[in-house]
Structure 1
Amino acid sequence: MDRHELRRLDYSLSQDHTDLQSAYREFFTTACSIETVRAAEASGFDKDLWERLCATGATTMALPETAGGDGATLVDLTLVAEEGGRALAPVPWIDHVAAARLWAALGQVPAEVVTGAQICALDPHQEAGVGPLLLPAAAIADHLIVRDGHDVVYLRFDDRPAAVDNIGRLPMAWVDPALAAERHVLASGPNALAAYQRALDEWRLLTAAALTGLTEATMTIAAEFAKTRCTLGVPIATLQAISHPLADIAITVGGARNLTRRAAWFADNEPDERPELAGCAFVYIAGEAPRAAAVAVHVQGGLGVSAEAAASAYLVRARGWALAGGDPARTAQRITALVAQLELGTRTQPAAPAAEPAPV
């Protein structure tokens, strides 16, 4: 078995990967306390944290060298996303990275976008936008990329849309493309739509990584509480009703992490071989993260549901982040279509690009 074939089955991290993840874990631990998260809830965005994150090269690393970036792999990016999710970082890094990478695939990316001085975002919904769009980072984005029929379209507004309240505490806003101050087509046709679909897969892949980090953090919060809270003279962590659900969360985190890294590796190295994996990672953890966060809240009893408890902050984001790109069931439908086409393709002809699922 050659090294490439082995890598298709082994998703352990290299020393460089470990160093990268450790660096960003330290960054978010230092720069993004729960107090920082709470202070940014009204807008969903901490400008100072964003500037500090950009200064680490987190936006530059995501782009290919031909676009002025550092050419990081998707595996690298999932590690950054996981640490951002662990800290509930109120920054639009995933939206910006997915949109900037799409922009680089279709044309020249402005230097201000490469460095993060200007924020760009995309429409992460599976279906093509019709009329006003509810986008998770539109309230703070300088540039927007959306899909209109067979076109991938650039939008810019003189005045940013007003943020709307949402359970995920995201800088979400309604956008009406007809009101854009600037609108032009970046690309059209099948290749443009395929590039947009890759961007959607990357958005879901990085969101899955962030939700994995969030889920592990909820487990840690609950476990630390259970080790110090006692009943009848023993820590509640020794009770099966507490320890077994926490063990289930640990299994969930391990499975989600492996699936996310597997999806990232295939997207980097064999993108046409397993195109369904990014969606699978997202659908899996989108369902499990809210359940895990609810367990963390329940373990802490009345404290867990209090407004000041960190567990409650994780719970609302576990639910909200999973829905920021629309109903995960739409992604599940696409997975079904992809797998069916791939199965058919192995028997008759090469698999065609997956069609968008019918609205439900």
Structure 2
Amino acid sequence: MDRYELRRQDYSLSEDQTELQAVYAKFFKSRCPLEVVRAAEPTGFDKNLWEQLCATGATTMALPETAGGDGATLVDLALVAEELGRVLAPVPWIDHVCAVRLLARLGALPPGTDGAAEVAEGRQVVALDPRLDSTAGRRLIASGSVADHIVLRDGDDIVRLSPATRPAQVDNIGRMPMAWVDPAAVDQRTVLATGSAAPADYERALDEWRVLTAAALVGLVDETLRVAVEFAKNRYTMGVPISTLQGISHPLANIAIVVQGGRNLVRRAAWFLEYEPDVQPELASAAFVYLAEEAARAATMAVHVQGGLGVATESAASAYLLRARGWPLAAGDPGASAVRVAELAART
């Protein structure tokens, strides 16, 4: 048996990983109640929460030790992303860590250089364009309105843009700090990589974004289930809780299956991408497509369980529904990732 064979089928966490997830679960629960999420909706960003999150080392942990980081694995990062999604945290952590990990792989974050510490520690926010079809021209960037730097593909180049003025935020269903960005209109432009190897380097960053976004959606679905179950347990009809009715209990049971199955798929995708990226390369896209579809379905069901209350603007279920539908769209049409799954599977 090779050293990784068991881990290919084992999704259990180590003691350190369990503790890591518990620490961030406690952090987000105490610092990001729904009131904080609601207050940040106009901009899609809570600067105070971001600074507190960065102070925990959540950004530096994502980097390799050679870039001044703590060398956390993608599995570790998926645990943090799940807790972020559970509370709908209005911070661009996923975009930032995927972008800075790409910068580190390209040698653009050598320790001790100007700006490296500011980027690594989150004092300067870095955005990433996760769209498969974005290779040239103007495009929507999910964290564009709060980013100091934007990493994207421009033709055959990977470039870092540093706008002198941040672009205006564009209203969007996911309540993200989204903005239009035109690479040709940004004067401060650095080419980080070019040539035949550049697309593969960037694709790795996109796979990491898909895995971490899928992990965030697992947390979102899990919390959506909790909200719906608590309501169903305490809402009565004809003298019995509505949770006892098959039309309620069976769909909620399906959501529980989505949570466990999606979590396993995400952890499997994260493990392979971290340790054996050339084996089952379709897993990252598959996890993203599955959770993108199921999160919207689960959140819709949670709203339906609560009836008219579920669609009220003050309802927690409505907040989760908006993010469940909006977050995956940061990568454009999720169908493009589904096509990628088919293309990768056809090669094997």
Q: TM-score range by the shorter chain?
A: over 0.9
Deviation digits for residues 142-172 of structure 1 (CA, Å, limit 9, x no counterpart): 0011111211011111100000000000000
Counterpart CA distance in 1 for 2:182 and 2:106 is: 23
- The corresponding residue for 2:88 is 88
Give the alignment partner of residue 152 of structure 1, picking from 152, 155, 158.
158
Counterpart CA distance in 1 for 2:207 and 2:254 is: 27
Report the residue type matching 1:290 in the other structure.
A
Identity across matched positions, percent: 65
Regions of 4+ moved over 4 Å: none
Contiguous gaps of at least 5 residues in structure 1: 343-360
Counterpart check, 1:253 vs 2:256: no
Secondary structure of 1:190's aligned partner: coil
The 5 A counterparts of 1:259-274 are 259-274=265-280
Report the residue type matching 2:87 in the other structure.
A
Secondary structure of 2:41's aligned partner: coil
Counterpart check, 1:221 vs 2:227: yes
Alpha-carbon offset, residue 3 of structure 1 = 4.4
Counterpart CA distance in 1 for 2:190 and 2:295 is: 38
Counterpart CA distance in 1 for 2:168 and 2:134 is: 22
Contact map agreement 2:134 2:153 (CA 8 A) in 1: yes
Contact map agreement 2:158 2:193 (CA 8 A) in 1: yes
Contact map agreement 1:106 1:192 (CA 8 A) in 2: no
Counterpart CA distance in 1 for 2:188 and 2:282 is: 35
Counterpart CA distance in 2 for 1:211 and 1:21 is: 16
Give the alignment partner of residue 307 of structure 1, picking from 300, 310, 313.
313
Secondary structure of 1:159's aligned partner: coil
Contiguous gaps of at least 5 residues in structure 2: 110-115
Deviation digits for residues 232-277 of structure 1 (CA, Å, limit 9, x no counterpart): 1111111111110100000011111000000001011111011110
How high is the TM-score relative to the length of structure 1?
0.94
- The corresponding residue for 2:112 is none
Contact map agreement 1:67 1:108 (CA 8 A) in 2: no
Secondary structure of 2:158's aligned partner: strand
Alpha-carbon offset, residue 336 of structure 1 = 1.0
Counterpart CA distance in 2 for 1:276 and 1:193 is: 16
- The corresponding residue for 1:103 is 103
Report the residue type matching 1:186 in the other structure.
L
Counterpart CA distance in 2 for 1:190 and 1:204 is: 23
The 5 A counterparts of 1:1-360 are 1-109=1-109, 110-342=116-348
Equivalent residues, number: 342
Contact map agreement 2:136 2:153 (CA 8 A) in 1: no
Report the residue type matching 2:17 in the other structure.
H
Counterpart CA distance in 2 for 1:302 and 1:338 is: 43
Report the residue type matching 1:235 in the other structure.
P
How high is the TM-score relative to the length of structure 2?
0.97
Counterpart CA distance in 2 for 1:141 and 1:190 is: 28
Contact map agreement 2:135 2:156 (CA 8 A) in 1: no
Counterpart CA distance in 2 for 1:71 and 1:313 is: 34
Contact map agreement 2:214 2:292 (CA 8 A) in 1: yes
- The corresponding residue for 1:345 is none
